Amino acid sequence: MSIELFDIEIGKYKEGVHRIEFEMDSEFFKSYESSCVEDGKVWAELVFDKGAFAIKFDFKIKGEVKRSCDRCLNDLSYPVENTFNLVAKITADIGEDEEHLTYILPNEQWFKAASYFMEMICLSLPIKVVCEDVSQVCDSSMLEKFMEEEEEEIPSQFEKLKNLFKDNKI
Ligand SMILES: [Zn+2]
């Protein structure tokens, strides 16, 4: 689903409660160049209650995203689920956005929901994603390879120092 479809023409909706469903898929995730995930399939829902002076938004996501293990680079399907609520005050007196508060100008027609959904995905992932989180085991051959690479780097630093001493450079 293209990212433009997450722009809601809020101006055309009557006062009251409305519900829109979205699908965050490959096409959606490709629109975000640097994000916490590259791919996935996530169902998303936005329920909003439009009033004369404010709109209350309730966001919901549920699905799976593709992430590589931060330890062994295995591809993982990571389950995500999250909710978020936001109040948008309709006013010409625009203040500073807070976590659950934003402002919409009275003549503003559009509300962009994509970045809210994207942030909900990123926030529902741990800082470090590892195989164990999804009942998988890290690829031991990859772990060994990384260990070897680390070990190789240390002696080379020592070598450099040793050579410096040898040449009486320090
Ligand atoms: Zn792993």
Residue 25 has what pLDDT?
Answer: 95
Residue 170 has what pLDDT?
Answer: 54
Residue 24 has what pLDDT?
Answer: 95
The ranges assigned to domains in the chain are 3-136, 139-170
Question: Ligand 1 centroid vs 118 CA: distance in angstroms?
Answer: 24
Token pair, residue 69, equals 């293990």
- Terminal-residue alpha carbon distance, the chain: 62
- Backbone phi, psi, residue 68, to 5°: -95, 150
Block means of pLDDT (10 residues each) for the chain, 170 residues, are 93 96 94 85 98 97 94 94 97 94 93 94 92 94 87 65 64
Residue 168 has what pLDDT?
Answer: 64
Q: Which protein residues have a CB closer than 5 Å to ligand 1 (ion)?
A: 69, 71-72, 74, 131, 138
Location of structure tokens 């007196």: 93
Question: Ligand 1 centroid vs 67 CA: distance in angstroms?
Answer: 11
Residue 150 has what pLDDT?
Answer: 78
Question: Ligand 1 centroid vs 142 CA: distance in angstroms?
Answer: 9
* C-alpha span between 87 and 46 (Å, rounded): 13
